[in-house]
Amino acid sequence: MKIGLYGDSFGYEKPIYGINHPKLSDINPSWVTLLREHYSIDNFCCPASDLYFSYNNFVSNYKKFDLNIFIATSPHRLSINYNNTIIHNSGLNSAESKLKTDSDIFRNKIHKASVDYFLYLQDIQRDVVFSTLIKESIQKLDQNCIIIDAFGSNGLFNITNMENKSWKISPSYTLLDSFLDLRYCHFTEENNHILYNTICLCIKNKLNFELDLKNFVTPSFDVRRKYLIKK
């Protein structure tokens, strides 16, 4: 079976922090890599990307696959085309950080415009409406598509947040410079495996994805040292 996968970092197969760290060899791969052992997968996921970015990839490619899996990210992100590349901003903090660190004059104009957008133009309610319409469009185009929310009550971030709370770190820890996060798809090794099994059941039995946090494991505080590495 050929599978097309679309979304953000929750489906990205490499840790987005510490991507070349030698200790990665001690950590098993992501739920996507586990899925590759049984299926042929084309992965279009990109960290920090917005919903429209993934939707465009889906519309362009979904007919090529036997099954499509769409990870619906936060509706409040912003991806911008620039000079044959795409600048992804997950929010105001992301745009402000790039504005401070990017030395390219023209990209900085985009970062500044992105900051102004998040501060003065963004309509949160409109974002939610567009997100709903996009997911409805996906289901009309492909009734068998498995849609997985990244955020919200049924979202994958609930797994990450459970782990973060156990390790006493805030959801905004990724903005800090004190350590690298080696988790694949933002999950510990054990929870990646549980998610893999959950998605396998959805594929085998043609089920909608439902997140039951009770099925996932709260890691001990000591396990934190395996995944969060001081720079």
Cα dihedral 41→46→50→52 (10° resolution): -40
Q: C-alpha angle with apex 229: 225 to 231, nearest 5 degrees?
A: 150
Q: C-alpha angle with apex 69: 145 to 10, nearest 5 degrees?
A: 145
Q: How confident is the model at residue 20 (pLDDT cuts 50, 70, 90)?
A: confident
Query: What average pLDDT does the structure give for the chain?
Result: 92
Both tokens of residue 216?
């996932």
Q: How confident is the model at residue 175 (pLDDT cuts 50, 70, 90)?
A: very low
Mean pLDDT along residues 18-35:
83
Mean pLDDT along residues 190-216:
97
In this predicted structure, the answer to whether residue 18 has a pLDDT above a threshold of 60 is no
Higher pLDDT, 147 or 16: 147
Both tokens of residue 92?
């105001």
Higher pLDDT, 64 or 230: 64
Handedness of CA 20, 221, 33, 160 (dihedral sign): negative
pTM listed for this prediction: 0.94
In this predicted structure, the answer to whether residue 116 has a pLDDT above a threshold of 70 is yes
pLDDT tens sequence across 45-95: 999 999 999 999 999 999 999 999 999 999 999 999 988 889 999 999 899
